[in-house]
Chain A
Amino acid sequence: MSAWIATLHQTFIETGYWRQMLLGLQNTVYITLGALCIGVVVGALLAICKFFSEGNRALRPLELFCDLYTTIIRGIPMMVLLLVFFFVIFSGTRNKLGVCILAFGLNSAAYVAEVIRSGINAVDRGQMEAGRSLGMSKIQAMYKIVMPQAIRNILPAIGNELITLVKETSVAGYVGVMDLTKMGERAKSITFDAVNPLLVVALTYLIIVLGLTRLLKMAERRLNRDKR
């Protein structure tokens, strides 16, 4: 045990590499949070566009665009999408972190859109009708009646998406973004300690995911307080 602690000390403290590891963690958090924001905003927009364009002939192109978007994004592996963003769309960019956030965000948006759409569809149709029968517009009933209930269906699935996202960002190293995984890899090659950097990286992801799971549980419990 003490021999192991000595190795840890040697690998991270003596080399001063713990600072790089923290930097990597910071980048991973930035990418995740940034991508989550983009994902939720763009995803919600897509879902709402789809909701209002369904069955409305004038908005048919909008519906087609939303369908096309989710089909394309969901049909391409994240890794390939990232490479396309870096070497095709934004080739020669200096803001690697920004492009990375955008790529992960737009990827997430497709999944979030589907999650939100199915969450809205899962709310009983009678709820919208009850709102409309009182004189609410479609948007008012959506905002006041359907959405608050849909969020209950949506939140657990968004949580899943967030957890997937955290772990997916580990491929960011492929395009030279210094995320947690990349930093672990580098620590390995610099210190010749093949075990501990990866162990630390793996544990860090695990702790993040455990923390997120707890947060989500708490949020769910709050949202379900009327179901006691």
Chain B
Amino acid sequence: MKHVKGIIWIFGITMTGELLNHIIPLPVPAGVYGLFILLGLLISGILKLSDVAPAGELLLDLMPLMFIPAAVGLIEKTTELRAVLVPFAVITIATTLFVMAVTAKTAELVLHHKNREEP
């Protein structure tokens, strides 16, 4: 029964996130509201890590699988894509690599700079 309490909390928070997404006119998805709610509950001590960790880590472990249906759905969208296929492929590949490189290098630059200041 170690998952029951966690699942109740997680689904309850997810539901609250959905309500906020519905009420607040901002393009913030339910999951992001929920992420901050769960973080807030853990920081404030209202919720113990041991209450949600078993169920939460199971969901995180299965997370990659949850992307399969949407990705397989791409086969339905081939006509829309054919018009912009070349720019589409180049933009996706080039900008993803660029963003990854810039983010990682900026992080390391600031981290190493800081480490030199406080030896």
Chain B binds chain A: no
Interface residues, chain A, CB within 8 Å of chain B? none
Interface residues, chain B, CB within 8 Å of chain A? none
